[in-house]
Amino acid sequence: MELFNLSNKRALVTGGTHGLGMAMAEGLANAGAELVITGTTPSKMEKALSYYKDKGFKATGYLFDVTNEEEAKKNLDLITKELGDIHILVNNAGIIKRELAITMPVEDFRRVIDVDLVGPFIMSQLVVKQMIERKEGKIINICSMMSELGRSTVSAYAAAKGGLKMLTQNLATEWAKYNIQVNGIGPGYFATSQTEPIRVDGHPFNDFIINRTPASRWGDPKDLQGAAIFLASKASDFVNGQVIYVDGGILATIGKPSNED
């Protein structure tokens, strides 16, 4: 299992205070990584750090907005000074605003692009400098099925996540010569607190997801941990510019007829 051992590695997970980011951070910590968590809400950060520490993980939190280049640089310098280099960067922080394209305020469109695409660029650009010096590093961008598909009311999110897929490929192209691997994870539909209201039997969207997913279920956040550990570890040293879709098979099929068992 040495290929997947993350002992003596420090992983920075943006937006690792809740949801899928927390699940992936927990997976990395279980594999031996020290956690550095970023967020913007003090109460969520306090709760997350308490959770990690109750699990016996070494975890430190820093509050800043990844879209603010000056604040991001200031905090990364502080992290490096207080803890040391970052070996693994997980660009997970993201937002979504659901609105029809024809009525979506341009300000909202720009904000989604800023958080979901510009933020990962800022963080990658800052962290990669120390990775280049070491000739080693892992960057994992959290993409989406919307990196490949469109859907009503998520034009800004899909544009950002499609851009993040291409950013992943371009950064991999530029930085592979320094022994840095840049890859992505594309989650499908997962059982989180945000989806809880629509994950009830009989709800149209719940039925749609169950029927549309070959695995016939919502993803458990822990289903993302294997992909995260793989892309953060030596096991993926010759994997670069790829997006691993953890979606229960949705992208592999056009769906099944309603009368199919």
Residues assigned a catalytic role: 157
Residue type present at position 65: D
- The span from the CA of 142 to the CA of 134, in Å, is 24
231 vs 126: CA distance, rounded Å: 20
Beta-ladder partners of 142: 185
Residue 34: φ, ψ to 5° = -85, 135
Q: What is the DSSP letter of 175?
A: H
Structure tokens at 8: 């003596």
The DSSP element (H or E) to which 228 belongs, if any, is helix 225-232
Contact 22, 194 (CB under 8 A): no
CB-CB contact of 184 with 165 (8 Å): yes
Positive or negative, the Cα torsion across 76, 80, 83, 88? positive
Q: Radius of gyration over alpha carbons of the chain, in Å? A: 18
Instruction: Print the SS3 string covering 98-162.
Output: CCCCCCCCHHHHHHHHHHHHHHHHHHHHHHHHHHHHHCCEEEEEECCHHHCCCCCCCHHHHHHHH
